[in-house]
Structure 1
């Protein structure tokens, strides 16, 4: 019998994100096996939650090798980038079929149907779109992958796959090739373009989760058109007249977005983050959010304003 489950990558630097993730994961997936992949050596606080949220820590001998691949491809834009490559140790872990997830998200549904979809649709790798611009720079590599392999850019923070799909030798070979083609890859998202290229240039059967399961929302970012609401069937997108309308939201992913009272879909994060806190703690946090939210939302609107940027450029240029 196949062992199905999930992996999450985290450390104590994102402890509050991780607690919200763990809380949401266990509410919607009470029995699904979960393994923590340590982002680095700072994981004591999170590991202390293992009995509360029923997960195990997964250490693997490949961590050094994977980080060395990240170091070859890193341009210095994201100094912690090589640590993200530890997530690929999941290909050689204890689970036969699994979903990989970053900690800076909340889980809003039962994940087993996504994992079972590998067998149902005879696929090896399922992904959520993230956009080609976040993966490849314009150039011959991108053009060829789109033309010949129908490549869709996907985010490296959530994907579904099988144990042993790629070997360490394959990863090292792809890394060597990508060093030569580094100028055609995204400057920042090293692990993301690495995984995309690994999948796109292989013979594995891959597809978008949404393309196979159109009832699942294609997007898992909070900055999506419309709003997220909850009904008897779970979380859905309300975006009347758009393709996403009434599709199910299974994950909400805040990677790259600062955790603050002004962040989009904050209520979803707060729902799980506040679980287990005392009434006094909840009241203090709510008060802080009520005070700061208008300020932070206003600041974000100003930063996005075309006119503010024009005034700034005029002042800067004298």
Structure 2
């Protein structure tokens, strides 16, 4: 069975509702969706699941615990992660909940498309699932243009482990990818831990913890992967990030030079901005009308009027993210 999954808690409730509604429109109302819990704050999400017959909240505690334990073992091999996290006041493993997306390798779907809560599906995902007929890992992004959020680019291990061609063709953003159940299994991951303990852990980038681990696993294990941003014909490729200001919108879809986006990623935007927006604050967000359309697709009467003065959210707002992210443009 194919399905789509995401990760979140009640803090990203508005974004998850928007994502679910976009999936309903472009993948069909019967497409099964599974939410992996970032933490235990999921009461609103539990209520949401009750109202949607094809939506589930992952509750396999044994699966969650075994992935949590493996992640702890992985980060215990890193030479400087703890110091880096301490420097920013992050206790425990930094953004531990983001690793819960790994539960998809145990999850209910034989093949799955993972989408971050801050994304919207804007076209039929069939090309992604079709690519899984040939590949075990499918992505669609331009993260290879900025490896600094994938690996520690100053580590000498980077050149030892991966060729420039591998990094160019296979590095990816962990906000959107497709794979299959059982591809990775912590109970059979001792070889990975041994590699990391030998010194390879130094290549991991602790500030994007789930992303760096997934990239390491895919390339180090030689997974057969495909990045549609490189594989599709040039005339069919699009960007996907809201940092792209040249996109156009029409009838609640987003286009890149006339080609509809497969998905839109609100990368770098705090979930608090979406909460404020949905509370009626006139917050300045890129492509916010598209977001609001899908957020209130089934209850347009509750859509906030946003009649007040336009609010530019600084310094927590999205503008501070634009400069470093513009290099991810296609």
TM range (shorter): 0.7 to 0.9
Quote how far apart the aligned CAs of 1:112 are.
2.5
In structure 2, the partner of 1:271 is 293
User: How far apart are the structure 2 equivalents of 1:142 and 1:252?
Assistant: 30
Q: Which of structures 1 and 2 has the bigger CA Rg? A: 1
TM-score, length-normalised on structure 1?
0.79
Quote how far apart the aligned CAs of 1:276 are.
3.8
- Unmatched tracts of structure 2, length 5 or more: 76-80, 275-282, 324-330
User: How far apart are the structure 2 equivalents of 1:70 and 1:99?
Assistant: 22
Q: Deviations over 1:113-171 (max 9, x none)?
A: 3112211xx11101133231211122333224133634532111210111211222354
Q: Deviations over 1:39-58 (max 9, x none)?
A: 22111211211243331222
In terms of mean alpha carbon deviation, does 123-132 or 190-199 score higher? 123-132
In terms of mean alpha carbon deviation, does 62-71 or 172-181 score higher? 172-181
In structure 2, the partner of 1:66 is 67
- For residue 126 of structure 1, the aligned residue among 119, 128, 138 is 138
What root-mean-square deviation, in Å, do the aligned CA atoms of Structure 1 and Structure 2 show?
3.0
Cα pair distance change 1:81/1:68, threshold 3 Å: farther
Q: Is the 8 A contact 2:247 2:254 kept in 1?
A: no
Residues 1:211 and 2:230 are matched in the alignment:
yes
Q: Deviations over 1:53-75 (max 9, x none)?
A: 33122223221222234345253
In structure 2, the partner of 1:312 is none
Residues 1:253 and 2:265 are matched in the alignment:
yes
**SS at the partner of 2:176?**
strand
Cα pair distance change 1:229/1:59, threshold 3 Å: same
Q: Deviations over 1:277-311 (max 9, x none)?
A: 464x43x54224xx134x448996996999xxxxx
Cα pair distance change 1:173/1:81, threshold 3 Å: farther
Q: Is the 8 A contact 1:216 1:249 kept in 2?
A: no
TM-score, length-normalised on structure 2?
0.77
**SS at the partner of 2:109?**
coil
Cα pair distance change 1:45/1:197, threshold 3 Å: same
